[in-house]
Amino acid sequence: MAKVLEGPGMGLLRKWGISTPNYVVVSSNDEFEELSKVNDWLQKSKLVVKAHEALGSRFKLGLVKVGLDLGAAKSAVKEMLGKQLESVTIREVIVSEAIDHKEEYYASVKSTREGVDVMVTTYGGVEVEANWEKVKKLAVEIGESPTDAQLAALSKDAGFSGDTAKKMAEFLKKLYICFDNEDAQYLEINPVVQNSNGDLVALDAVTLLDGDAKFRHKDWTFPFAAEFGRAYTQNEEEVMAVDAKVKGSVKLIEIPGGNIAMLPAGGGASVYYSDAVVARGGKLANYAEYSGDPPDWAVEVLTEKVCSLPDIKHIIVGGAIANFTDVKKTFGGIINAFRKAKGEGKLKGVKIWVRRGGPNELQGLAAMRALQEEGFDIHVFDRTTPLTDIVDMAMAAK
């Protein structure tokens, strides 16, 4: 599941005919200054300024300003950009047109084990959680789509009447079409409001997509947002950029404060080794994996990032017995990165622990062992060694 920030999320809604306020996403004061000269709505409308980051409780953090004129919006942008929170630096701000409204509604579509739930209520905005029992739901089975009649009935059951009921049914249809065509797993609009013309407008969007479907969507040029309460680091973003280009997969998540770096092969092995480190009282410096027989250069990039993690004492290069990932090839990328890191003065005092099996494992393991002659503190084991024995060895080593 991949979270999308508000700006690109609103862009997907617009693509499928759902009205949103005018908005711009900016990363500098100069950029906003230039946009304000060419967009009349920025000059004439009341504005909303929000930090464009994957953060909860933005209001409480002072990262949402409403009802601003252009001058005040410029000040708010300047105040927010670069602001340092505990784990996040505000790098982008979204400035949108304020829409006058009286009522706020809620609408969402989410994937379930049985199919899809379409949900709606007249209690939107901050009221939705306190009135969740009033949310009305239409369950759509796998392979089916909601009919116009079903959506009309859902809208009326939720308490909408007259022309608003008809418009909400149309809104839900567009929302479902967006959800279905964009390989979404969850779309939430809170609030949905009526503008002065009586049209329904999405003021905000929570968008979760199937990240593995990105190859089907050439217009998904936006980055995905981090799911752990902070922005992605530069290393994480660079690995994600490589992952998007290659066959197979490379992944990296940094964990500040740890001293045991992970470089496992395969998603299962990465979880297995990470759990083993934590169960033995170790502190992880990262989560990582390479799988699906990625090219050696992609594994090299991932390894470079792992070697650059601060204060690491051990690197675990673990994996089960691969079916088709070439051990010699992928180890070639790891070895190149190790040599580069050593040449840059990194890996001093770092012990490297290797356990692997699979195609061309003898050549790959031999190349790893040869690093001992180059001054690396490296310990290499084959398929006969139980998977997590290298974790025990690392934890026992001084």
Give me 157's structure tokens. Answer: 């059951």
Going through 167-322 in order, the beta strands assigned E by DSSP cover 184-194, 200-202, 206-209, 249-254, 260-262, 286-291, 314-321
Give start-end residues of each CATH 3.30.1490.20 domain in the chain.
Answer: 22-97
* Mean pLDDT across the chain: 93
Give start-end residues of each CATH 3.30.470.20 domain in the chain.
Answer: 104-216
Distance CA 295, CA 250 (A): 10
CA-nearest of 214, 236, 216 to 226 is 236
Fold entry, domain 104-216: D-amino Acid Aminotransferase; Chain A, domain 1 (3.30.470)
| Torsion angles phi and psi, residue 80, rounded to 5 | -80, -45
Give start-end residues of each CATH 3.40.50.261 domain in the chain.
Answer: 234-396
Summarize pLDDT for 41-62 with one digit per residue, the tens: 999 999 999 999 877 667 778 8
Class of domain 234-396: alpha beta
| pLDDT exceeds 80 at position 398 | no
Summarize pLDDT for 160-217 with one digit per residue, the tens: 999 999 999 999 999 999 999 999 999 999 999 999 889 999 999 999 999 888 889 9
Summarize pLDDT for 285-343 with one digit per residue, the tens: 999 999 999 999 999 999 999 999 999 999 999 999 988 899 999 999 999 999 999 99
pTM of the model: 0.71
Fold entry, domain 22-97: Dna Ligase; domain 1 (3.30.1490)
Summarize pLDDT for 251-293 with one digit per residue, the tens: 999 999 999 999 999 888 999 999 999 999 999 999 999 999 9
Give me 292's structure tokens. Answer: 């699906």
Going through the chain in order, the beta strands assigned E by DSSP cover 2-4, 23-26, 47-51, 64-68, 93-97, 104-111, 115-121, 136-141, 184-194, 200-202, 206-209, 249-254, 260-262, 286-291, 314-321, 351-357, 377-381
